Amino acid sequence: MKKNKIFQLAAIGLASVALLAGCNSGKSADKNSDDGGEVRTIKVAYDQASKPISYIDDNGNPTGYDVEVMKLVDELLPDYQFEYVGTTSDDLLIGVEQGKYQVGVKNAFFTQERTEKFIFPKEFLGLSSAGLVLRKEDEGIKTLADFAKKGYSLAPIAANNAQYTIIDEYNTANPDNKVKLQAGDAFTVDVVQWVNEGRVDGGVMIEGPFKQQVLAEDGPYNNLKDEVVYNEFSVIKTWPLFNKKEQEFADAYDKAIAQIKEQKKTNELSTKFYGRDLFEVLETVNR
């Protein structure tokens, strides 16, 4: 009888440990500051529906290229402990600006407008392939100039989306061969569906999500893999967005990410999550 009671207490103890472990799945392991001081908890917001950039895996844990790089940063910063908060793209932007989150990752491109709301660190986080989604019969269109020359229609892009800025910058530089750019109401539209249905001739999309939606066997549009194509027109640097009051933290991030890049760990993660090492073309990246 006494042994049964001991076993019952042991089982309860193990269950409690498992429950606590599950509750802390969004946190890095507890750490101690090098100088013995208090470790500051940092809330890292991430877009939880942007696979393979940032998402929640089958076990309920935050992952993706952006998140895994930030985990490496956390390992090198003993004065900080990261807590990952999955959210939407819009909430991330608002939350970081207002200080609800200290930093956010969402495959963010640099725009001058965003510098008014966020701190951009000196060191970028990663690289992203931006391209045109087209119908199979238009796969010969390789550049924005090709697309504009055809007079084709582009899927609407929200004016606060950095993809809008990219097309606007192209139009400014090419006033005689502009892409027809329309600002949408929503942050994003379902580009693959719009192109397939013929509502537009093409749309701007990031390569990673295109692969997940169309090329992956379990993708929602895998049935369209022979109907639509993705043609890259640019590789662009991506950045974490820091709250305006977090300059000290942003400086610490800079030192850590520089070391991580030097060790080629970002190259490895790019290959793991994007299927290619985008850092191989870094010398050609001008944005």
Looking at the domain assignment, is residue 22 inside a domain? Answer: no
Kindly report the CATH number assigned to the domain that includes residue 31: 3.40.190.10
Residues 115, 164 within the same domain: no
Dihedrals phi, psi of 118, to nearest 5 degrees:
-135, 160
pTM: 0.84
Pair (95, 181) in one structural domain: no
- The domain of 109 spans 27-127+238-284
How much is the pLDDT for 189? 78
In a domain, 8, yes or no: no
| Rounded distance between C-alpha atoms, residue 136 and residue 165, angstroms | 26
In the chain, which residues have pLDDT < 50?
A: 1-25
Cα–Cα distance measured from residue 186 to residue 90, given in angstroms and rounded to the nearest whole number: 10
One domain for residues 94 and 223: no
Q: Sort strands 40-47 and 103-108 into parallel, antiparallel or unpaired.
A: parallel
Task: Give the three-class secondary structure for 139.
Answer: coil
90 inside domain: yes
Q: Are residues 244 and 212 in the same domain?
A: no
142 and 121 housed in the same domain: no
Q: Is 271 left (phi over 0), alpha (psi -120 to 50) or beta?
A: alpha
Sign for the pseudo-dihedral over CA of 215, 217, 220, 224: positive
**Quick one: tokens of 189?**
């539209």
Q: In the listed set 214, 236, 258, which residue is the last one of a domain according to the structure? A: 236
Shared domain for 42 and 93, answered yes or no, is yes
Report CA 251 to chain centroid distance, whole Å. 21
* Predicted pLDDT at 25: 45
pLDDT given at position 9: 40
Judge whether 217 lies within some domain: yes
Nearest to 25, CA basis, from 78, 63, 52, 80:
63
- Does residue 9 belong to any structural domain of this protein? no
Residues 82 and 102 in one domain: yes
> Can you give the pLDDT at residue 35?
66
Q: Where are the beta strands (DSSP E) in the chain?
A: 40-47, 49-50, 54-56, 62-63, 80-87, 103-108, 126-135, 157-158, 183-184, 202-206, 228-242
Quick check: is 5 in a domain?
A: no
256 part of a folded domain: yes
What pLDDT was estimated at residue 17? 34
pLDDT at res. 7: 40
156 and 114 part of one domain: no
Domain count for the chain, please give it.
Answer: 2
